[in-house]
Amino acid sequence: MSARGEELTTQVETIRAVRGTRDLLPPETARWNFVESATREVFRNYNFHEIRTPIFEKTELFARGVGEETDIVSKEMYTWEDQSGKSDGAAGAGQSLTLRPENTAGVVRAYIEHKLWERGLNKLYYIGPQFRRERPQKGRYRQFYQIGAEVIGPPSSGTESPARDAELLELLATLLDRLRIQDWRLELNSIGCEEDRARYNQALRQALGPVVRKLCDDCQRRAATNPLRVFDCKVPADQPIIDTLPRISQFLDEPCRQHFDEVQRILNSVRVPYTLNDRLVRGLDYYTRTAFEFTHGALGAQNAILGGGRYDGLSESLGGPQAPGIGFAIGEDRLVMSLGDSAEAAVRKPDVYLAPLGPGMNQEAARLARELRRQNLIVELGEESFRLKKSLELASKMGAKYALIAGENELSTGVFALKNLATGEQRAVARDRLVPEIQR
């Protein structure tokens, strides 16, 4: 670039990524791919199939699905009024659309829209970005990624069975073990059915009555509209009061209690450890019965790697048929953060840096690179005008295992100089021995 050009770029203000969003760069992206391919393999073992739903949906889907009173819907959604209604010639103002803050509502919408039960498709998984306007901090972003799964189907398909809950939890334990994530902790609760929660809400309201004034503004609002949401409160001063409130576990009816007991019996039988936590109510309104979170100590304040639970009435509340379901979503950003060294092998460096030396060598080197790449080697191809010293420097910088020098002499004799960049050792290798030599 000319001196004038450089001057200009320094004067123009640069544009940075929006707060709460981030660029995932190599080699970090290799760790993400490692997680995603291990997860896809596990999903295949359990006969899950991938679904991809749109990144934005009608706002009403989340209002009805996730719940108006939840933090997600009341404070955190990216919502706008779409203009397309007007330009399409449709009457009236544009409709309200929202970037998806989670994917369960979208999956259930798609399940209903495409009558997936008719095709026997009831185990679905997804991987993709979600959006919430939360205060960014370590492990909490405004665009974050989830890997999630949903088991949903008509009662006749057995989706209501506690066996499905236990199977999903066992799948998650298997996945975390396969990723060699240690020190995870499964926290488990049952939040009962609608009738249980109606009785519980009444008791909560009563218990909140004398203390509600001492709680934060959000809790005062929640106490009036949806008292269960008081348990979502993060304000430290409120916690001692919230700790004194009655728990949902005391309000489960017999079928819900039995369902929950059976989930635990199966978990015991497959030896998946868990801790009961009757304060765990999850921050979304669609849950019924089993609710769970996996936490990881190394994550700090945002220590939930994943969360999920059963949502037996969600389909009906979105206008669909009766279709009990259960699912989870892993926060992929947090999962990658808790990986430790187990993904290091996924970060692949070039096997060989091919350095053409001298005029006219780009063409020959391109042919040689093509041959080597067809043998599945990772080849970085240099440029004929580079001096050997520069090529070797570039090769080392990108972490290549070997540098392969291709000058006129090498191409005419068919014997190449192959330099091991870690040891500095250089050997003469015949063209047909290059691949085994590099793979060694």
Which position among 57, 69, 150, 218 is part of the footprint of ligand HAM (CB under 6 A)? Answer: 150
117 or 125: whose CB is closer to ligand HAM? Answer: 125
Residue 144 in the binding site for ligand HAM (CB under 6 A): yes
Q: What angle do CA 22, 27, 30 make, to 5 degrees?
A: 95
Contact call for residue 35 and ligand HAM (CB under 6 A): no
Give the C-alpha separation, 263 to 258, whole Å: 9
Task: Confirm or reject binding of residue 125 to ligand HAM (CB under 6 A).
Answer: no
Q: Judged by CB, which is closer to ligand HAM: 161, or 391?
A: 161
In the bound state with ligand HAM, the residue whose beta carbon lies nearer, of 121 and 207, is 121
Structure tokens at 32: 């993400």
Under the binding rule (CB under 6 A), the answer on residue 67 touching ligand HAM is: no
Indicate which single residue of 104, 122, 249, 288 sits in contact with ligand HAM (rule: CB under 6 A).
Answer: 104
Q: Virtual CA dihedral for 200, 206, 207, 209, nearest 10 degrees?
A: 140
Closest distance of CB 95 from ligand HAM, Å: 23
Among 39, 146, 159, 161, binds ligand HAM (CB under 6 A): 146
Binding mask 306-325 for ligand HAM (x = CB under 6 A): xxxx----------------
Interface pick for ligand HAM out of 117, 141, 260, 416 (rule CB under 6 A): 141
CA angle 193–194–199, rounded 5-degree value: 100
Sequence-distant contacts of 228-234: CB under 8 A, at least 24 apart: 228/191, 228/197, 228/200, 228/201, 228/204, 228/281, 229/69, 229/70, 229/71, 229/283, 230/204, 231/279, 231/281, 232/70, 232/71, 232/281, 232/283
Candidate list 57, 69, 102, 218; residue touching ligand HAM; CB under 6 A: 102
**Closest Cα partner for 329 from 157, 25, 110, 100?**
100
At closest approach, how far in Å is the CB of 306 from ligand HAM? 5
Instruction: Give the number of residues in contact with ligand HAM, rule: CB under 6 A.
Output: 25
- Please select the residue that binds ligand HAM; options are 231, 328, 353, 416, rule is CB under 6 A: 328
Tokens 């790697």 belong to residue = 305
- Contact status: 329 vs ligand HAM (CB under 6 A): yes
> Which of 65, 153, 162, 327 is the binder for ligand HAM (CB under 6 A)?
327
- Measured from the CB atom, the residue of 227 and 307 that comes closer to ligand HAM is 307
Q: Does 153 bind ligand HAM (CB under 6 A)?
A: no
CB closer to ligand HAM, 117 vs 131: 131
Type of residue found at 277: N
Q: Shortest Cβ distance from residue 433 to ligand HAM (Å)?
A: 50
| Contact set for ligand HAM, span 226-285 (CB under 6 A) | 283-284
Query: Which residue's CB is nearer to ligand HAM, number 145 or number 402?
Result: 145
**By the rule CB under 6 A, 173 interacts with ligand HAM:** no
Using rule CB under 6 A, residue 176 touches ligand HAM: no
249 in Cβ contact with 190 (< 8 Å):
yes
304 binds ligand HAM (CB under 6 A): yes
Residues that bind ligand HAM (CB under 6 A): 102, 104, 132, 134, 139-141, 144, 146, 148, 150, 283-284, 304-309, 327-329, 331, 333-334
